[in-house]
């Protein structure tokens, strides 16, 4: 498996991005100001993450997703560690990522990757998404923010 930057001429795999963010409009809005990196094996995309600078000192993984058939194989962890290295190489001092309060597996995943829970943006998903999002039988309301110093 290798991780590489998606070329500007390549179309990001929208189906995979939609697994992590249900809004095509939001995805398209952040893709124009971000870099996409894909994990692939034999020209088959297994996972993706989107990295953007959100301030002079901070980068954010705005979207990260691994195909369902390839989950549980360490690909997501490799993507996060790659994002950390990319952000460090680009001169950022910290990396952030956010997930919904209902994303129980992702909350555990980011902590296993060494990120710390640093903030809660209350009602984020109510403010930014037209339709309610439910996951694990819980309404997704709040954005749980994780970060690490680089």
Question: Contacts from 19-27 at CB under 8 Å and sequence distance 24+?
Answer: 19/65, 19/68, 20/63, 20/64, 20/65, 21/63, 22/129, 22/131, 22/133, 23/128, 23/129, 26/128, 27/63
pTM above 0.75, yes or no: yes
pLDDT digits 0-9 by tens, 11-66: 999 999 999 999 999 999 999 999 999 999 998 999 999 999 999 999 999 999 99
Yes or no: domain 2-149 corresponds to CATH 3.40.630.30: yes
CA dihedral sign of residues 42, 48, 53, 58: negative
Listed by start position, the domains of the chain span: 2-149
């Amino acid at each position: 498996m290798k991780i590489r930057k998606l070329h500007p001429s390549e179309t990001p795999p929208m189906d995979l991005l939609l697994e992590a963010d249900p809004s095509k409009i939001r995805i398209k809005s952040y893709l124009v100001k971000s870099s996409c990196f894909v994990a692939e094996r034999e020209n088959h995309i297994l996972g993706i993450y989107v990295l953007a600078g959100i301030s002079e000192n901070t980068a954010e993984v705005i979207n990260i997703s691994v195909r369902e058939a390839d989950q549980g194989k360490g690909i997501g962890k490799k993507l996060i560690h790659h994002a950390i290295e990319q952000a460090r190489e680009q001169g950022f001092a910290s990396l952030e990522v956010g997930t919904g309060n209902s994303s129980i597996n992702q909350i555990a995943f980011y902590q296993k990757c060494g990120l710390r829970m640093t903030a809660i943006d209350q009602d984020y998903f109510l403010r930014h998404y037209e339709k309610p999002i439910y996951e694990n039988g819980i309404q997704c309301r709040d954005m749980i923010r994780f970060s690490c110093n680089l």
